[in-house]
Amino acid sequence: MVQTINFTALDYTAEGRFEPARYCYHGASDRGWEISRNDMPYLSLGSGYLPLASKHCGICATDLNRQYLPFPLPQVTGHEVVAREGDRSVFVEINASHWHRHQVDSSCWYCRNGYANHCPQRLTLGIDRLPGGFSPWLLAPVGAIQEISDPWTDVGGVLMEPLAAAHRAVQVTPPKTNDRVAVLGCGRLGSLIVAALAAVRTQSDKDFSICALVRRDRHGSLLRQLGADNVVQAHSTGLAEYDIVYDATGSAAGFEQALRLARRCVHLKSTSGQVVQGMAHLTSLVVNEYQLLQQTSHQAQSWAEHPGQTENAEAAPVRSKVFACLRDIDRFLAGGAIPGEAGLRPGGMLVVTGAASDNSLMSQALQRGVQIHSSRCGDFAQTIDLFRRVPALVTVLQDRLITRQLPMDRLPEAFDLAKISGNMKIVVSH
C-alpha cells in the first residue's frame, strides 16, 4: 500500500547547527520510496524499507562530530534508535545494504559473502543520507529490525547500537586465557567494551583480567559493576603492560599510549580523524576493519605468501596486501591504491615489510610484534543473545549509563549536555 508521510524534523547542518525542515516520504515497501525535503527531491530509495515511528534516540560522539564526516549535510541524524512498529518496540540496525533490505544483488560480493555491513552501495541510518532517529519517522531496512524484549526497556534500548559495536571489538580481538586486558578511554564506548568483555568472560572458559584505564575515577564504581577487575589512572607512572589494549579514546594521545602499553594487540575502536603517528587516514582502517601488522610475524608471512582469494575469485577482494612502509599504507587508506592491485576485503590484513624504517612509535610497536586491529558496528542478534544470558549487566547499563532524557524539541540542549565530560548517555524522546 502506497503511503505519504509528512513531518517536520531538525536537520543537522555543515556548520554544526540545527534547522527545521519539511520532509515527505512517499512510496511503499515493495516498490520503493521518494523522499523530499522542503518540497525538493532529496533521496530515491529502492524497495525493502519499512516506515517506523521513532520513539527514542541516543546521542553519541559520531553525532557530536557529524560535520567532520565525509557524508553530505544537511541531514536528520541519529542512529542509536528505538522505534515503534505497530504495537511493538524495535531496535533498528544502521546499515541499509542489499542484504538488510532483503534485496541481495548477485553482483554484490559483499552481501553474498557475509560482509553486508561493508556493502559499497549501502546507506547508513542517520549518518549517510538516510534520515535518522532524531526524525519522528524513519525508513528502516526490513532486515534491520529486531524486537525489544526483556531485560531491555524501550529507553535502555538506545544502548544496543553502541553495545553491539563494543561486542564486535571483542569478537574481532578475543582475549585468551590468562590474558591481561585493558580498556583505555572508559567513557560511553569504553564502558560498553568493559561490559562486553565481562559478558564474554562469564559465558566462556577463558579466564582473563579486565583493567579499566581512566583519566578520572568518577566512573570507577560503574566500571567495577560492569565487570572491571581493576580501575587504574591512565596517566599513572609505571603502568603494567597488557596483552590487549582496546583504545576507545578517539584521540591521538590515547592511541599512542595504547601502543606503548600493548604486548600483543591494540584494538583501535575510534579515531580522531586527525594525523596520528604520521598517518592521516586511520579512520579508513576502522571503517574497513583492517588489521595492520609487521611481516616478521608468522601469520603475516603466511598470508602474504598465500593471498587467499575466495572460491569466487573473479571479482573477490583479496585478504592481505603487502606494503614497503607505513607511508604506502596511508596512501592506500586514502584511496590511492597501487595501480593494478585488487581491492582488500573488509577485515583484511595490511602487511608492512619496513615498519621500523621511520622510528615512529607505531613502527616500534609493530616491530616488536604488536598487531593493530579495528572494528566498527556489530550484529544486533548476536549481542541480544549474549546479554540475554547476563541480565544483571543489562540492568546496570540501563540504570547507570543513561544520564538524562529530554524531549525531541530540546535536541540542541541535549547535544550541549552530551558534550559535557561525565555525561554518559543523553537520550531524546519523541
Domain co-membership, 135 together with 212 = no
Domain co-membership, 80 together with 134 = yes
Residue 256 falls inside a structural domain: yes
Burial profile 154-175: b = 16 or more Cβ within 10 angstroms, e = fewer: ebbbbbbbbbbbbbbbbbbbeb
pTM for this predicted structure: 0.92
Long-range contacts of 413-417 (CB under 8 A, 24+ apart): 414/59, 415/18, 415/59, 415/63, 415/64
Cell 527545521 -> residue: 20
Share of the chain above pLDDT 90, in %: 70
Sheet containing 18-28: which strands, arranged edge to edge?
3-12, 18-28, 32-37, 40-45
User: Is pLDDT above 60 for 306?
Assistant: no
User: Is pLDDT above 60 for 340?
Assistant: no
Specify the range with the lowest mean pLDDT, choosing from 7-21, 25-39, 98-112, 309-323: 309-323
Domain co-membership, 203 together with 266 = yes
User: Is pLDDT above 90 for 6?
Assistant: yes
Residue 380 falls inside a structural domain: no
Task: Give the chain's domain count.
Answer: 2
Residue 347 falls inside a structural domain: yes
Residues whose CB falls within 8 Å of the CB of residue 189, separated by 6 or more in sequence, listed in order: 60, 61, 162, 165, 166, 248, 269, 270
Domain co-membership, 104 together with 213 = no
The average pLDDT across 25-49 equals: 97
Domain of 233 in residue numbering reads as 164-374
Distance CA 178, CA 41 (A): 57
Domain co-membership, 137 together with 183 = no
User: Is pLDDT above 80 for 216?
Assistant: no
Which of 147, 176, 199 is where one domain is finished?
147
Domain co-membership, 326 together with 223 = yes
Which of 147, 180, 202 is where one domain is finished?
147
* Averaged pLDDT of the chain: 90
**What CATH code is carried by the domain that includes residue 128?**
3.90.180.10
Q: How confident is the model at residue 17 (pLDDT cuts 50, 70, 90)?
A: very high
User: Is pLDDT above 80 for 355?
Assistant: no
CA dihedral 251→256→259→260, nearest 10 degrees, is -130
Residue 424 falls inside a structural domain: no
8 A C-beta contact, residue 334 and residue 278: no
Domain co-membership, 113 together with 250 = no
Domain co-membership, 90 together with 126 = yes
pLDDT tens figures, 239-279: 889 999 999 998 899 999 999 999 999 999 988 777 888 88
Which of 116, 147, 178 is where one domain is finished?
147
* Pairing status of strand 49-59 against strand 40-45: unpaired
Domain co-membership, 93 together with 222 = no
Domain co-membership, 187 together with 323 = yes
Specify the range with the lowest mean pLDDT, choosing from 31-45, 140-154, 317-331: 317-331
Burial profile 358-374: b = 16 or more Cβ within 10 angstroms, e = fewer: eebebbebbbeebbbbb
